[in-house]
Amino acid sequence: SPGTSSTALPRFPGDFLWGVSTSAHQIEGAADRRGRSVWDAFTATPGRVKDGTTADVACDHYHRYREDVALIRDLGVGAYRFSVSWPRVQPTGAGQVSERGLDFYDRLVDELCAAGVRPVPTLFHWDTPLVLEEAGGWRRRDTAERFAQYAAVVAARIGDRVPTWITLNEPAEHTLLGHALGEHAPGHRMLFDALPVAHHQLLGHGLAVQALRAAGADHIGIANSHGPTWPASDDPADREAADFYDLLLNRLFADPLLLGRYPDGIAELLDAPGLDADLKLISAPLDWYGVNYYQPTRVGAPGTGPQEFSGVAIPPELPFAPREIDGYPRTDFGWPVVPEAFTELLLDLPRRYGDRLPPLMITENGCSYDGLDDQERVAFLDGHLRSLHRALAAGVDVRGYFVWSLLDNFEWAEGYRQRFGLVHVDYDTLERTPKASYAWLREALRAQR
């Protein structure tokens, strides 16, 4: 009825997969029970994490996973996307496997299965073992091989109960923020010299897919960040800058994965020997393609934008400059809330990739807001689910949607000051408290049944 905010969502397909997402470094804690990762070292460097915190304890999910699985079950979602910490499984990133580390994921997967929740592990969500990084990390080609060996170790232990896999999370962010701009671990500022890091992650993905299939795994995907890029104006210089940003964010990973080639100009910059063979491996068919969506980006010609954007310093040498998007509400992070851009993105992917595009799953979507009565998050999720439904109605094949995130957690360079959870975490007591958005989503999903 008019005046109530409880208008039901449109109906989604009966077999649509609903889920929530997290990642290991952001929630697990128990840092004393794993090898060190690039994020431990980055965090220990003063000034890198803005509130000076570490993820040593985080949400202490390592010890509290039973309570967290109960929260997932009670929410009524069918799936849980978590990540496996490489240094918990292989403390030095190669060779020696930690059985105690694997035991944790074994227990977690059992707990999920008992709760009727599908485990959806991501094998890499940015926490490279520090020993590997010190030997060159993703700048080195053989890290891709190490990654595939680690994937095989994980599959051998939990593969019998895992129906759906994700290789990498957002290699674009890990390349750009972690290696080109140095705003994330491992903190390199290599600008365009970071391109091999992109290629080696893609190669790691391809080799891991091969290793997973050899271990009998099925339903394999990847989680890539995507978002519409809007030119700041019709000026050709702004359009050119926006096209370049679009290439870096939306095509640098998707083109090799889905089309088996790099966008024009990139292969020349890469200069990798054996590129054709690599691309063949990288473009081996995926069962589904994961999209992490947060917001559109407005981009103009270089030298025309702010020096700092969303807390990230923008080097003047970049051939583009991000610009503010005005006229929309903003999250606590300052990101504009533009649900219709989600529809735009979802309509665009099949236009770009045609029948090379596998079925989609939204592997992350969410927002940062403080407080337990988080009506802004309710509005964000409601708006984005309606936008997603519009894309479904237009024929885009989307099979699932995962909210980022189940819990408030360690938000990388922001520390704990951005809260993305459906569930509030008190970082002194580690007490979990479901927010208004949790109750809203539970009711919205119940109404779908």
Return residues touching ligand GBH (CB under 6 A).
23, 169-170, 173, 225, 292, 294-295, 297, 309-310, 322, 335, 364, 404, 411, 420
State the Cα–Cα distance between residues 123 and 226, nearest whole angstrom: 20
* Residue 133 designated active-site: no
Nearer to ligand GBH, 164 or 229 (CB): 229
Rounded Cα–Cα distance for residues 415 and 407 (Å) = 14
For residue 343, the minimal CB distance to ligand GBH (Å) is 18
99 given a catalytic annotation:
no
Q: State how far the Cα of 32 lies from the Cα of 14, in Å rounded to an integer.
A: 43
Nearer to ligand GBH by Cβ, of 72 and 94: the residue is 72
List 28, 111, 183, 364, catalytic entry: 364
CB of 322 to ligand GBH, least distance (A): 6
DSSP secondary structure letter of residue 96: -
Nearer to ligand GBH, 98 or 418 (CB): 418
Angstrom distances, CA of residue 447 to CA of 77, 289, 325, 435, 440: 13, 27, 35, 19, 11
Which residue is nearest to ligand GBH, using beta carbons?
310
Q: Kindly name the residue from 28, 170, 183, 411 that is annotated as catalytic.
A: 170
Q: Is 185 helix (H, G, I), strand (E, B) or coil?
A: coil
Q: Helix or strand or coil: residue 346?
A: helix
Measured from the CB of residue 413, what is the shortest distance to ligand GBH in angstroms?
Answer: 10
CA of 438: how far to CAs of 77, 125, 311, 349, in Å? Answer: 11, 24, 28, 30
User: Of 173 and 287, which CB lies nearer to ligand GBH in the complex structure?
Assistant: 173
The whole-angstrom separation of Cα 131 and Cα 122 is 21
Whose Cβ is closer to ligand GBH: residue 93's or residue 227's?
227
- How many other C-beta atoms can be found within 10 angstroms of the C-beta atom of residue 193? 13
Residue closer to ligand GBH, measured from CB, 43 or 295: 295
Beta strands at 297-300 and 321-323: parallel, antiparallel or unpaired: antiparallel
What DSSP letter does each residue of 196-224 carry, written as one string? Answer: HHHHHHHHHHHHHHHHHHHTT--SEEEEE
Q: Which positions are catalytic?
A: 170, 364
